[in-house]
Amino acid sequence: MPASSQSLKGRISPMRWLLPIIGFASLSAAIPSPQYSSSTHSHAKRWGDLVQRHSWPAVPKGWKFHSDVPEDYKMTLRIGLKQHRFDALANTLFQISDPSHTRYGAHLSKSQVESLVAPHATSVSIIDDWLRGHGIDLSDSNSVSRSSGGDWITVEVTMPQVEEMLNAKYGVYSYGLDSDSKDASSSNRDYVVRTLAYSLPQAVHDHITVISPTTYFGTWRSMRATSFVDTTEVLADVDQNKLAVVTHDGVDIPVDCITNMTPDCLRRLYNIWYKPQATHLNKLGIVGYLGEFGNRADLQIFYERYMPSALGTSYNTTLVNGGGDDQSKPGREANLDIQYAVSISYPTPNIYYSVGGSPPFIPDSRTVKNTNEPYLEWLHWILALKDEEIPKTITTSYGDDEQTVPYDYQITVCNLFAQLGARGVSILFSSGDVGVGGGDCMTNDGSNKKRFQPGFPGTCPFVTTVGSTTHIPERVVNFSSGGFSNTFPRPSYQDAAVSTYLQAIGGMYSGLYNASGRGVPDIAAQGTRFKVILGGETKAIGGTSASTPVVAAMIALINDYRLANKKPTLGFLNPMLYSENVTRVLNDVTEGSNPGCGTTGFPAREGWDPATGLGTPDFLRLLATLG
């Protein structure tokens, strides 16, 4: 677990997250419940009794201190208030996502979710008093705003104000190859305004879930896109119908699909034969970060070569938090996600969310407002939409090492994904491309111990995490990330599957992973040598970023079928995926492992494993089971 405040570490046991009724992880329980009394309210006026909330023992890896922050710099501060009834939301989410429960599919509306996450009136009063005590005019709508659920307050503050409020020292930090340079105009670096530690008064400590920006450095280039260019020779396009075939579960697949993955290969491999019927109701969302833009001209070339029936159609782009859509700069990650999501789900409408952050910090800038924390920015934006405006399937191919994300930030973001799930949205994340961990795999809490490194947000138990396979018959591809969370306990929906695996491997890698943590991935799909058009040229791209939009597109097609038959969408997938009726129709992967951290990684075996999860989809069987 990342370095955390003494208060949190000393008082909180992960077991407190487990609700005894259903055994589900209640993540808000990690923040102690406030005591609502007049004495507490009186104590709230003493703002000098500070308790450290979070700190790093050193500047996070890859970042370097660049300069002090000008005193006239203004910052937009997001303050998350403790959600008074989040336990009820978690209980409800589990019930409506469990096919065996009588409430299955009874998704909540935006207003119903907001009523469950609204803060207690006492929390609001205490936090308001604290803000007023630091000279913040809560009546000024130009500098103060609240979320519709009331669980977030956004305030514009000066640097002296925020440093006094949080007992923090902010600085300008740079990330990039030339980070020793003081040249603030360098295009090779990113700049953020962050602090290495912050504190809160004891009186408000338990009423706040997270404050940002504070100690979360994992943005822009330190946040990874989970794809890469395959450096082996790009093979010429061939007529797959004329090639020798291999048989996969009774289906003939061209041998060329082993080295040239295309939409047609994926359809044959995973039995994706379905014509959407509810495209007026159903949408698939693709979330992109890091200045990655999909290219519409490249999509037409892709269609011309691999799916001529879709020529002339495209996708929509929605800009979030200053995101861009520069058609002169096609992005590898964006093109991969878009070309395979739209082709597999065709003609389902696809929306690409281009999520921005603040521009590079310029030391003499006075009013840079964006916090440049992409998950929070996008989640706040999407949750504010009406229910009918949100795609019911959303895929994202980015992540950070879990240990680089502050503990309270992880909990807060994960709980926001739970809100989306409760509203009937299926959220998929790639597991990552570093096996059980990349680099030296040393912990960053000051102990410098070797430990497997799972990736966030994939470790959040409210999202579905996708790993990768290769070859036919399928086996683990060596880069497929998987393992066990050091933050989130194992949720009940996967307890039996994960326990069976751990019993099978015995003491393997004892001490290198958290055996009681949430296991990832949940499912997998092909992830090597995907043909992608980039800047008009054919590239071979690999990664769990390739696998994730393919699985998401299949989920979107099942949602289409359900909507066409007047049924609710699948929503949060995991309790359903781990149910016996679904696991038996998946393609179990039992060969290979995911090396990393100087080890051969976790071996695949019968049933769930931390390399390919439950296996790969068989679309027609899933449709028959879930439709």
Residue keyed to tokens 């046991």? 13
Q: Contact at 8 Å (CB) between 597 and 441?
A: yes
Amino acid symbol at 533: I
Q: Let me know if 333 is a catalytic residue.
A: yes
pLDDT tens profile 179-225: 444 444 444 467 889 999 999 999 999 999 999 999 998 644 444 44
Helix (H) or strand (E) holding 383: helix 374-383
Question: Is 347 in contact with 275 (CB distance < 8 Å)?
Answer: no
What's the token pair of residue 41?
């309210």
Given 298, 337, 400, 433, which residue is catalytic?
337
Q: Which of 193, 221, 263, 203 has the alpha carbon at shortest distance from 533?
A: 263
**pLDDT > 90 in the chain, percent:** 73
Q: Are residues 124 and 266 in the same domain?
A: no
DSSP state of 537: E
Token look-up 């997250």 returns 17
Cα(180)–Cα(63) distance, integer angstroms: 10
Confidence at residue 246, expressed as pLDDT on a 0 to 100 scale: 64
Asked if residue 329 and residue 195 are part of one domain, the reply reads no
Q: Are residues 71 and 151 both part of a single domain?
A: yes
Determine whether 621 is exposed, middle or buried from the number of CB atoms within 10 Å of its CB (0-12, 13-18, 19+). middle
- The one-letter amino acid code at 302 reads F
Residue 330: what are its φ and ψ, rounded to 5°? -65, 135
pLDDT-derived band at 252 (thresholds 50, 70, 90) equals confident
DSSP string across 104-140: TT-PPPHHHHHHHHPPPHHHHHHHHHHHHHTT--TT-
Structure tokens belonging to residue 358:
């603040």
Q: Domain range holding 403?
A: 228-362+374-597
The pTM of the full predicted model, rounded to 2 decimals, is: 0.88
Q: Could you identify the residue written with the tokens 């389902």?
A: 348
Does one domain contain both 527 and 399?
yes
Are the beta carbons of 360 and 291 closer than 8 angstroms? Answer: no
- Produce one character per residue of 279-295: b if its CB has 16 or more CB atoms within 10 Å, e if not: eeebbbbbbbbbbbbbb
Residue from 16, 32, 36 nearest 24 by CA: 16
| Same domain? 535 vs 514 | yes
Tell me the torsion sign for CA atoms 204, 210, 213, 216: positive
| Per-residue pLDDT band at 6 (split at 50, 70, 90) | very low
DSSP secondary structure string for all residues of 289-338 = -TT-B--HHHHHHHHHHH-GGGTT---EEEEETT----TTSB-HHHHHHH
Asked whether residue 279 falls in the same domain as residue 139, the answer is no
Nearest to 113 by CA among 94, 88, 96, 95: 88
Structural domains of the chain, count: 2
SS3 labels along 138-159? CCCCCCEEECCCCCEEEEEEEH
Please list, in sequence order, all residues whose beta carbon lies within 8 angstroms of the beta carbon of residue 238, skipping any fewer than 6 positions away.
Answer: 256, 260
Closest CA to 417 of 611, 574, 207, 612: 574
In a domain, 291, yes or no: yes
CB 34 within 8 A of CB 141: no
Nearest to 163 by CA among 194, 123, 130: 194
Confidence of residue 32 (pLDDT cuts 50, 70, 90): very low
Instruction: Tell me, yes or no, whether 573 lies in a domain.
Output: yes
Q: Which helix (H) or strand (E) holds 288?
A: strand 284-288
Least confident residue range of 85-89, 213-217, 243-247, 533-537: 243-247
Instruction: Report the Cα–Cα distance between both ends of the chain, in Å, rounded.
Output: 40
DSSP strand pairing (475-476 vs 245-248)? unpaired
Query: Would 167 be classed as within a structural domain?
Result: yes
| CA–CA dist 241, 238 (Å, integer) | 9
For residue 415, which phi and psi values (nearest 5 degrees)? -65, -30
pLDDT in tens, 397-410: 988 899 989 999 99
Say which of 545, 547, 560, 593 is annotated catalytic: 545
Q: Provide the CA 148 distance to its chain's centre, in angstroms.
A: 23
Residue 22, token pair as written in the block: 């259903």
Say if residue 256's pLDDT is above 90. Answer: no
Bridge partners, 189 (sequence order):
176
Q: Does residue 77 surpass a pLDDT of 90?
A: yes
Chain centroid to CA 550: how far? Answer: 16
Decide: 604 and 611 in contact? Cβ < 8 Å.
Answer: yes
Domain boundary among 217, 248, 276: 217
pLDDT tens, position by position, 340-365: 999 999 999 999 999 986 444 444 44
Count other C-beta atoms under 10 Å from residue 50's C-beta: 14
Please tell me the distance from the alpha carbon of residue 395 to that of residue 288, in angstroms, as a whole number.
Answer: 9
Residue that is last in its domain, among 169, 196, 217: 217
Residue 427, H or E segment: strand 426-430
Least confident piece of the model among 9-23, 275-289, 458-472: 9-23
Query: Backbone dihedral region of 137: left (phi > 0), alpha (psi from -120 to 50 degrees) or beta?
Result: beta
Same domain, 337 and 459: yes
**Do 306 and 207 share a structural domain?**
no
User: Is there a domain that residue 564 lies in?
Assistant: yes
Residue 495 has pLDDT above 80, yes or no: yes
pLDDT the model gives residue 191? 80
Is residue 483 located within the same domain as residue 429? yes
Q: Match 């690409």 to its residue by tokens.
A: 352
CA-CA distance, 537 to 335, in Å (whole number)? Answer: 12
Q: Residue 519 corresponds to which amino acid?
A: G
State yes or no: pLDDT of 101 exceeds 70: yes
Q: Is 164 a catalytic residue?
A: no
Question: Which is more confidently placed, 382 or 62?
Answer: 382
Same domain, yes or no, for 429 and 508? Answer: yes
CA–CA gap between residue 415 and residue 26 (Å, rounded)? 9
Residue 19: inside a domain, yes or no? Answer: no
Q: What angle do CA 339, 395, 295 make, to 5 degrees?
A: 30
Rounded CA-CA distance 120/208 in Å is 11
Q: Give the C-alpha separation, 182 to 419, whole Å.
A: 42
Average pLDDT for residues 563-571, to the nearest whole number?
98
Residue 20: other Cβ atoms inside 10 A: 6
- What CATH number is associated with residue 558? 3.40.50.200
Model confidence at 152: pLDDT above 70: yes
Does residue 306 fall inside a structural domain? yes
Average pLDDT over residues 616-621: 97
Residue 290 — very low, low, confident or very high, per pLDDT cuts 50/70/90? Answer: confident
pLDDT digits (tens, 9 = 90+) for 82-92: 999 999 999 99
Average pLDDT over residues 236-259: 68
Average pLDDT, rounded, for the chain: 86
Q: 611 lies in a domain?
A: no
Residue 54 domain-assigned? yes
Q: What is the pLDDT of residue 70?
A: 87
User: For residue range 440-492, what is the model confidence (pLDDT) as tens digits?
Assistant: 899 988 899 999 999 999 999 999 999 999 999 999 999 999 999 999 999 99
Is 425's pLDDT higher than 80?
yes
* Cβ contact 408:425 at 8 Å: no
Gap between the Cα atoms of 342 and 263, Å rounded: 10
Question: Catalytic pick from 206, 333, 400, 474?
Answer: 333
Shared-domain flag, residues 212 and 234: no
Residue with tokens 């003494």: 6
Q: Are residues 501 and 545 in the same domain?
A: yes
Binding residues for Ca(2+): 588-589, 607, 609
What is the SS3 assignment for 574? helix
Cite the annotated binding site by residue number.
Answer: 588-589, 607, 609
